[in-house]
Amino acid sequence: MHPEPGDYVEVRTKKGVFKGILMPRNRFSDENVVILKLDNGYNIGIVPEEIKIIKKGHFEKKSHKRDIPRRDYVPTISFIGTGGTIASYVDYRTGAVNPALTAEDLVFSVPEIVEECNVRASILFNILSEDMRPEYWIKIARKVKKELSHAAGVVIPHGTDTMSYTAAALSFMLPELSGPVVLVGAQRSSDRPSSDAYMNLLSAVKVAKTDLGEVAVVMHATTSDDYCHIHRGTRVRKMHTSRRDAFKSINTQPLGKVNKEVVFFQDYRKTGDETVLMDRMDEKVSLIYYYPGMDESTLESLLMDMHGAIIMGTGLGHVGTHLLPIIEKAVKDGTVVGVVTQCLYGRVNLNVYSTGRKLKAVGVIPLEDMLPEVAYIKLMWLLGNYDIDTAKSLLSKNLRGEISDRRMITW
């Protein structure tokens, strides 16, 4: 007889013998690994040599959706599911792991959330975030606008890989908000004892209940379960492949932190009466990473047919001098070209070296301390919503906190 999820089993491995409940697989599980819930409550992943059933169990895949009457003393929060690791969860009663198929399942798996708010939940996509596209950002922005006419705030569970891109896109597409928009993810799927999904989600809900009229990302601030940071949507980046504190605010402090309460460290835009949507994006924009050895024809092809381009230059914002004629031609032909730094930390300055001065002379716009992907998304948004001269002049202006004041010491 084959062991099934829910069976109490004995598993023999190279490292010893383990007993526990066999957990169901999810789409993040490694094929060779079985997940076992030990008697002490911890889940472990092990490569089995032999599995013996000790007691036949029964695993029931249950929906968490509960009919809870609406309470007037708590606000309504809308959850818009988009996928990612966070969309898998552990059932705290059975210890079982399920890929969360509905946003309700995801939300109701954290009992404290139900105490905090009335829940509206829907799934817009169930994708890994590397599959995100500008047209999906537009769909999310439209859905947020709709949801904010029913809810006090919105929480968007999202894959972590491109969460900061979506946060930046929403920041520009939603210039005024009647409620907070909070993106949240998990670095570890919920079937792992070290999962950050639970605390991140609950912290996101707390931020969604504030008067923050901005798009934010809420994720673990440290590698332990101490507290979460609130990052401004235009300043945040995933800076580690797997650590729970992978998300950092770059060139600025986080907006605040959450443990039991929400505490803001910085000024922020407050919620207004209305949510404004400006959802056009010009996809003819490229993000170009310059490297020594990039030749003219490579750059030419990356600029071809583009309405705009962001170049990630070296150091203060440089590219090899041999590429200047190509850039000059693109600018003359009407392409808006901005430059940011590969260093990520610090500010572009095209006045220090001759290569920088030459870049400036051909009409490249220095983009201060803006993050590369934020500059890329901002340019798509500007070209989608404004004429070219306005787009050019707004590109280097601070619109959503994406550029910091020169006098601020940020690192």
- Where along the sequence are the contacts to ligand GLU (CB under 6 A)? 84-85, 128-130, 159-161, 185, 187
Nearer to ligand GLU, 88 or 355 (CB): 88
Q: Minimum distance from CB of 128 to ligand GLU (Å)?
A: 4
Nearer to ligand GLU, 84 or 213 (CB): 84
User: CB 405 → ligand GLU: shortest distance, Å?
Assistant: 32
The single residue of 85, 94, 162, 335 carrying the catalytic annotation is 85
- Spacing of C-alpha 201 from chain mean position: 13
* The two three-digit tokens of residue 28, written as one number: 């993040």
What is the rounded distance in angstroms from the CA atom of residue 315 to the CA atom of residue 146? 43
Percent of the chain as helix, strand, coil, to the nearest 5: 25, 25, 50
Query: 405 is written with which tokens?
Result: 């004041």
Q: Is 85 assigned a catalytic role?
A: yes
- Residue closer to ligand GLU, measured from CB, 160 or 195: 160
Q: Is 238 a catalytic residue?
A: yes
Q: Is 160 a catalytic residue?
A: yes
Nearer to ligand GLU, 198 or 268 (CB): 198
The least distance separating ligand GLU from the CB of residue 139, rounded to whole angstroms, comes to: 16
Q: CA 248 to CA 312: how far, in whole Å? A: 20
Query: Cβ closer to ligand GLU: 216 or 337?
Result: 216
CA distance 218 to 220: 7
Residue 175 CB, shortest distance to ligand GLU, in Å, is 27
Query: Which entry of 238, 248, 257, 378 is annotated as an active-site residue?
Result: 238
Q: Which of 336, 323, 215, 345 is nearest to 282 (CA)?
A: 336
Cα 373 from Cα 379, distance rounded (Å): 10
Minimum distance from CB of 371 to ligand GLU (Å)?
18
Residue facing ligand GLU at closest CB distance: 159
Q: CA 218 → CA 29, 110, 373, distances in Å?
A: 25, 16, 19
Q: Which residues are tagged catalytic?
A: 85, 160-161, 238
